[in-house]
Amino acid sequence: MTLNQREQVLVRLATYLGRCRVSHTLRVAIDGPDAAGKTRLADDLVHLLGQEQEVIRLSVDGFHRPAAVRRQRGSLSAEGYYLDSFDHNAIIDSVLRPLGPGGDGRYLPATYDYRADEPVPPTYQRAPARAILLFDGVFLLRPELRDFWDVALYLHVAPEVTLRRALKRDLGLFGSAAAVEQRYHGRYLPGQELYRAEAQPLDRADIVLDMGDPLRPAVLRWPVEAEPDTDVERG
């Protein structure tokens, strides 16, 4: 069976991640702007990788801060989106350190339910041996987090593509096209600009994919691969 371009890239990703060798859970960030296709790509990788090994699937959405904190600079604040949306200490202390070198493997899959705007009761889980963590979300290569990832993917899309997709995806959430445009032009797109200016994710990610066409992702950066295994041990 001939694989299409997306399937080829997914198989290449799954093969690479499956060869990576660390002494702990392999912590993989799937970063990118809003509507870049992070969730779908991560879920597709779960399907491929899960045939061979255990996969832990988490999202930054489980680590929001309370709404009052997220909106303290104003509901349309770009700075508020970038600086206040997520509890980075919780991500580090509840997931990345426990699953990293010297960690005990006990992690929390989430700490806050942003829909209910309340904390999630802590229910610890233990990572299976040789598991892979696939963690998707925005701003994952910011300075506070980037050194904790063993492998970092960045999905690149242009701002106009983000907005075009958001006008379809988020119409029900915000109620009208005008409301979507107001939110993205005021908060989300400039928040991503702040992130790119500070964190330079396109330069720091191990793997960069252009997702302008989600069915035909283009590889913009790929790590040098060692054979037969790839050692990506980090602190």
| 231 vs 50: which has the higher pLDDT | 50
| pTM, entire model | 0.93
Q: How far is CA 93 from the centre of its chain?
A: 17
Residue 144 has pLDDT above 60, yes or no: yes
Mean pLDDT calculated for residue range 184-188:
97
What percent of the chain has a predicted confidence (pLDDT) above 70? 95
Q: Once rounded to an integer, what is the mean pLDDT over residues 1-23? A: 93
> How far from chain centre, in Å, is Cα 38?
6
**Token pair for residue 136?**
């998707």
Q: Evaluate whether 149 touches 60 at the Cβ level (below 8 Å).
A: no
Of the two residues 225 and 82, the one the predictor is more confident about is 82
Domains and CATH numbers, the chain: 5-219 (3.40.50.300)
Chain center to CA of 63: 12
Q: How far apart are the C-alpha atoms of 38 and 68, rounded to whole Å? A: 27
CA distance 160 to 105: 40
Which pLDDT score is estimated for 186? 97
What are the residues facing 125 on neighbouring strands?
A: 107
What does each C-alpha distance from 145 to 82, 92, 197 come to in angstroms? 13, 7, 16
Distance between CA 101 and CA 44 in Å, rounded? 27
In the prediction, which pLDDT does 51 show?
Answer: 80
Element (DSSP H or E) covering residue 134? strand 132-137
- Give the range among 24-38, 138-152, 201-215, 220-234 with minimum mean pLDDT: 220-234
Q: 150-159: per-residue pLDDT in tens?
A: 999 999 999 9
Query: Tell me, what's the pLDDT at 12?
Result: 96
